[in-house]
Amino acid sequence: MSDIIQIQNLSKHFGNIVGVNDVTLDINEGEFVTILGPSGCGKSTLLRMIAGFEQPTQGHIFLDEKDVTNTPANKREVNMVFQDYALFPHLKVGANVGYGLKVNGVNKSDRQQPIIDALNLVGLSDKIDNMPHELSGGQRQRVALARALVRRPKVLLLDEPLSALDANLREQMQVELRHLHKKVGLTFIMVTHDQTEAMVMSQRVVVMKEGQIAQMGTPSDLYDHPANSYVANFIGTTNLFSSTATKTSSNQININYFGQPLQIAANDKILTSGTEQIFGFRPEKAVLVHDHRQATNGLQGKVKEVLYQGLAARILINVGAGEIAIDQMLSETKENARLPSEGDQVTIEIDPHKIMAFEQGHIT
């Protein structure tokens, strides 16, 4: 597959503020890529530069191997679905969808069919003569999608497309957008701050932090192999702690969690030079053992809170000065699923291979 979009060393400064800082990113044709990050991380600025609404301070954007860095928005073969839809309030749904077709030199009589097709695609062909204000939020979202898709852009840009919808509708639209992506086969680039949305919908996720790419990869890459503690904490939950690592004579590597010893499996990220670095493990990778004498790589603590979540329970445990979250599945047999109560002394066991080592640093 060829790269439909190539972003090379792209930066955007707003006065003294750096919005996007030296981002390089290639996006394959037909891919569904999500740019994920907290507000202010530069993800929207990056998308707006691809759309042509913002002029980069440095760097280049290539669309289908053509340099479009200085091409104005109206000349770029990309289309955007705006966060609050940006439907033209004075035009009917049909005219909104057909708005961009006039420019492409499509005759008025030939414009009707693509409009109907695009509205069919989002299941709204019966609303062609309605005004936007007569539609619900979800319907407006679909019209915005139809309007962007009708021009068959090379890339469809989605700027937090689901953030204005309520929770149920959002989940439904997540699935619909995935289906739509498969059906039309276009490249989708979505921006969101919602990690679940990013994980559910996209083939590849680009995590951004302070204008730079913190990590990119498939959702499972990011979850199972986060490159740094920022990604580990942003995608899902991770029990992060800092420690120094020491190698014993028997080639074991020892670290400690707030004073309690732990073993970690050998890993090229571990610094055995005595510098403090960050480690972490996922809540579901730790298990409660009922008899602490049987624990092989255990930590002892006191249950602080038990949060029942149906499928699983999250148990917060105070271990020394730290707090550990573990998830216990409840779908197993009743005995295994026995939940501790607040205040219980418990032992947590962690597989040394499931502890991740991150960058140098300290967590208080």
**Per-residue tokens: 21:** 């800082």
Q: At what angle do helices 108-121 and 167-184 cross, to 10 degrees?
A: 120
1 touches other proteins by CB under 8 A: no
- Could you say which of 55, 104, 218, 309 contacts other proteins (CB under 8 A)? 104
Q: Say whether residue 188 binds other proteins (CB under 8 A).
A: no
Residue 228 touches other proteins, criterion: CB under 8 A: no
Cα–Cα distance, 120 to 327 (Å, whole number): 43
Q: Judged by CB under 8 A, does residue 110 bind other proteins?
A: no
Residue 97's closest CA among 106, 108, 88? Answer: 88
Axis-axis angle for helices 167-184, 137-149 (nearest 10)? 20
Q: Is 62 in the site for other proteins (CB under 8 A)?
A: no
Angstrom CA distances, 193 to 17, 105, 198, 236, stand at 20, 38, 8, 13
Find the shortest distance in angstroms from Cβ 239 to other proteins: 41
CB of 80 to other proteins, least distance (A): 5
Q: State yes or no: residue 147 binds other proteins (CB under 8 A).
A: yes
Q: How far is the CB of 78 from other proteins (least distance, A)?
A: 8
Over the window 70 to 89, marking each residue x when it contacts other proteins by CB under 8 A and - when it does not, the resulting string is --xxxx--xxx-xxx-xxxx
363 binds other proteins, rule: CB under 8 A: no
| Binders of other proteins in range 119-138 (CB under 8 A) | 131, 133
Please identify which residue in 52, 219, 298, 322 interacts with other proteins, judged by CB under 8 A: 52
Cα separation, 298 vs 317, in Å, equals 13
Residue 100 sits in the site that holds other proteins (CB under 8 A): yes
Stretch (H or E) spanning 360: strand 356-360
Minimum Å distance from CB 16 to other proteins? Answer: 16
Of residues 8, 157, 153, the one with CA closest to residue 75: 153
Q: Which residue among 51, 68, 214, 288 contacts other proteins (CB under 8 A)?
A: 51
| Residue 170 · residue 162 · CB < 8 Å | yes
* DSSP code for 340: P
Q: How far is the CB of 273 from other proteins (least distance, A)?
A: 52
Rank residues 154 and 354 by Cβ distance to other proteins and give the closer one. 154
Size of the site for other proteins (CB under 8 A): 27
> Could you give the CA distance from residue 268 to residue 253 in angstroms, rounded to a whole number?
12
Query: Per CB under 8 A, does 99 bind other proteins?
Result: yes
Q: Are 21 and 212 in contact (CB under 8 A)?
A: yes
Q: Does 69 bind other proteins (CB under 8 A)?
A: no
Question: Is residue 358 a contact point for other proteins (CB under 8 A)?
Answer: no
What does the alpha-carbon distance between residue 267 and residue 277 come to, in Å, rounded to a whole number?
A: 13
Torsion over CA: 75, 80, 84, 88 (sign) = positive
The yes or no reply on residue 151 touching other proteins (CB under 8 A) is yes
Residue 108 interacting with other proteins (CB under 8 A): no
Residue closer to other proteins, measured from CB, 53 or 258: 53
Q: How many CB atoms within 10 Å of residue 200?
A: 15
Structure token digits, residue 335: 């005995």
Q: Does 186 bind other proteins (CB under 8 A)?
A: no
Q: Which of 15, 39, 90, 107 binds other proteins (CB under 8 A)?
A: 90
Per the listing, tokens 């972490």 go with 280
Cα distances (angstroms) measured from residue 192 to each of 61, 157, 196, 223, 338: 21, 11, 10, 17, 38
Query: Is residue 53 near other proteins by the rule CB under 8 A?
Result: yes
Closer to other proteins by CB, 95 or 312: give it: 95
DSSP assignment letter at 338: P
Contacts to other proteins by CB under 8 A: 51-53, 72-75, 78-80, 82-84, 86-90, 99-100, 103-104, 131, 133, 147-148, 151
